[in-house]
Amino acid sequence: MTGLLRDLAALVDPRRVWGDVEDLVAYTNDATHRRELPAAVVAPESADEVAAVLRYANQRGIPVIPRGAGTGLAGGAVPVSGGLVLDLKRLNRILEIDHKNLTATVECGVVTGHFQREVEARGLFYPPDPQSLAVCTIGGNVATRAGGPRGVKYGTTKDYVLGLEAVLPDGSVISYGGKSVKMSAGYDLARVFTGSEGTLGVITKVTLRLLVLPPSRRIMIAAFPELDSAAEAVSALIARGAEPSMLEMLDRIAVTSLQRYLPLGLPPDLEAFLIIEVDGHPAKVEEDCALVAEVCREYGVHEVRVARDAAEAERIVQARRALFPAAARAAPNLVIEDATVPRTQVPAMVRAIRRIAERHQVLISITGHIGDGNLHPGIIMDRRFPESVRRAEQAMAEIAREALNLGGTLSGEHGIGLLKAPFLEWEFGEAGVSLMRRLKRAFDPHGIMNPGKILGGGTAGVRD
Ligand SMILES: Cc1cc2nc3c(=O)[nH]c(=O)nc-3n(C[C@H](O)[C@H](O)[C@H](O)COP(=O)(O)OP(=O)(O)OC[C@H]3O[C@@H](n4cnc5c(N)ncnc54)[C@H](O)[C@@H]3O)c2cc1C
């Protein structure tokens, strides 16, 4: 056993410290193609144990990489500087669901889908629904500001964080916010941690806002012969005041790989498909369904299908969630982009992605939470061939650049992580990034927290 492992085993139960390569391999990557072996993995069970490990690492300048479920799509949990991976899945208690205040307090390792089911069993509703919700954690969602299809109506994780507890690199614990629905006291530290991707400290506990479960929902699929007309129908729907709770787009490439995995009976020769959900009072739901169908017809839809019953609706929702797994089965590797533009620019962004795919001779499927302008171009590549990786990464950079040219942002919900760190200055300029670096130094003067993420660079790190 190395000195590092011996020291860690004195801080937490030795059965929760791993250093053998066969154990470490499971922690080399997230859902991206980047991978690196850490020196050790520690699985704390409490904020006190997190604090003890951080204090130890901080004194020795050892990188610490917080990890939820490792489903990230930006390389955030990849231990590029070696160091310690902090596996946070054991901090998994739902501490309280407070029906009267419409809040819940949970530990960071609670799985999002499990939390949603617990909340819904009480007639309540936690809308943020990253499509990885069967495994991803609330801590990971807060750390990446995760979104999902319901973002179009309900916003994303950031809109539900009322307060949090976090451990700083020196082992001190801060707590900001709580059950109050409004707060104007001091700098908003909860917002600073939300989206910090493990670079400032470890989020150990979160208080979340809840809603009351909508009484009714309907789901529809609309199939369009042209991608452009589907994108334009989306802009028109929003402009006409439709308030869908989900407005997703899939192109032909995505639908083809999806239907190999999960047949939905969709016409395979059409170019674009919208999955639209409306929820709320039953009468309003009927009204919104009629409006959606009317607008889709105005934009040349081939077919609009309303799910007949709850079972069919669930099948469509499951199909949407299966998009990335289906594409992953069809392609050796997939780089999922996260370009986000103002809604009116969606048709221009779709056209730009098509041009970029052609220029670099790469296959790109286009899916996304189109209702909020958040596209997920899936760039198909094979990491065994450097030329394939080079072309995919070039296409990714150009898509990011184009999103900014159209007034958008580098990331709508996946974060910057490792993959987009080199682009950060494109969005915020030198002064903006320099301020972010100073903020990082104030929280983490020794630079141990998740080096190389968001701001690039990183420390040499300890590999032991
Ligand atoms: C099939 C699939 C579908 C997806 N769909 C969506 C989607 O619809 N919307 C969306 O937004 N994302 C989506 N994602 C991306 C991913 O699931 C989210 O980014 C999610 O929030 C990551 O959670 P995680 O627990 O897996 O975090 P990880 O991948 O383990 O970590 C992500 C980042 O957060 C940091 N981190 C994790 N926990 C903590 C903590 N407690 N304290 C401090 N830092 C922490 C890590 O260091 C890392 O930088 C999808 C991914 C997959 C594979």
Instruction: Kindly report, residue by residue over 82-129, the tens digit of the pLDDT.
Output: 999 999 999 999 999 999 999 999 999 999 999 999 999 999 999 999
pLDDT at 458 over 80: no
Question: What is d(CA 370, CA 229) in angstroms, rounded to the nearest whole number?
Answer: 13
Which of 166, 197, 191 minimizes the C-alpha distance to 456? 197
Structural element, H or E, at residue 344: none
Band (pLDDT 50/70/90 cuts) for residue 288 is very high
- Protein residue with least CA distance to atom 48, ligand 1: 76
User: Is residue 87 within 8 Å of 42, Cβ to Cβ?
Assistant: yes
What is the whole-number distance in angstroms between the Cα of residue 130 and the centre of ligand 1? 9
Distances (CA, A) of 106 to 38, 103, 159, 422: 28, 10, 16, 34
What is the whole-number distance in angstroms between the Cα of residue 124 and the centre of ligand 1? 24
Band (pLDDT 50/70/90 cuts) for residue 276 is very high
3-state secondary structure of 283: helix
Residue 184: Cβ-neighbour burial (10 angstroms; 0-12, 13-18, 19+) = exposed
pLDDT at 264 over 90: no
Which of 383, 390, 411 minimizes the C-alpha distance to 399? 411
pLDDT at 160 over 70: yes
What is the whole-number distance in angstroms between the Cα of residue 88 and the centre of ligand 1? 12
DSSP-assigned states of every residue in 345-390: GHHHHHHHHHHHHHHHT--EEEEEEGGGTEEEEEEEE-TTSHHHHH
41-69, pLDDT tens digit by residue? 999 999 999 999 999 999 999 999 999 99
Q: What is the pLDDT of residue 461?
A: 35
The mean per-residue pLDDT over the stretch 149-156 comes to 96
User: Is residue 39 within 8 Å of 83, Cβ to Cβ?
Assistant: yes
Summary mean pLDDT of the chain: 93
200-233, pLDDT tens digit by residue? 999 999 999 999 999 999 999 999 999 888 988 9
Which of 46, 52, 27 minimizes the C-alpha distance to 38? 27
Total residue count of the chain as it appears in this document: 464
What is the whole-number distance in angstroms between the Cα of residue 80 and the centre of ligand 1? 17
Q: Who lines ligand 1 at CB under 6 A?
A: 30-31, 65-73, 76-77, 88, 108, 130-132, 136-137, 139-141, 143-144, 146-148, 197-198, 202-203, 324, 413-414, 417, 450, 453
User: Is residue 157 within 8 Å of 146, Cβ to Cβ?
Assistant: yes
The mean per-residue pLDDT over the stretch 129-140 comes to 97
Helices (H), 121-272: 138-144, 151-154, 189-193, 227-239, 252-261
Closest ligand 1 atom to the C-alpha of 143?
34
What is the whole-number distance in angstroms between the Cα of residue 454 and the centre of ligand 1? 14
This prediction has a pTM of 0.95
All structural domains of the chain, each given as residue ranges with its CATH number in brackets, are 1-213 (3.30.465.10), 216-324 (3.30.70.3450), 331-446 (3.30.70.2740)
Band (pLDDT 50/70/90 cuts) for residue 259 is confident
Q: What is the pLDDT of residue 316?
A: 87
Better-predicted residue by pLDDT, 127 or 252: 127
Ligand 1 pocket: which of 65, 92, 131, 262 to mutate (most atoms <8 Å of CB)?
A: 131
330-383, pLDDT tens digit by residue? 778 888 999 999 988 988 999 999 999 999 999 999 999 998 999 999 998 888
219: CB partners within 8 A, 6+ apart:
246, 275, 276, 277, 306, 307, 313, 316, 317
Q: What is the pLDDT of residue 410?
A: 96
- Protein residue with least CA distance to atom 2, ligand 1: 132
Q: Is 265 left (phi over 0), alpha (psi -120 to 50) or beta?
A: left
Which of 212, 160, 221 minimizes the C-alpha distance to 190? 160
Structure tokens given for 451 = 């080096």
According to DSSP, residue 212 is labeled E
Percent of the chain exceeding pLDDT 90 equals 78
Q: What is the pLDDT of residue 463?
A: 35
The mean per-residue pLDDT over the stretch 405-433 comes to 97
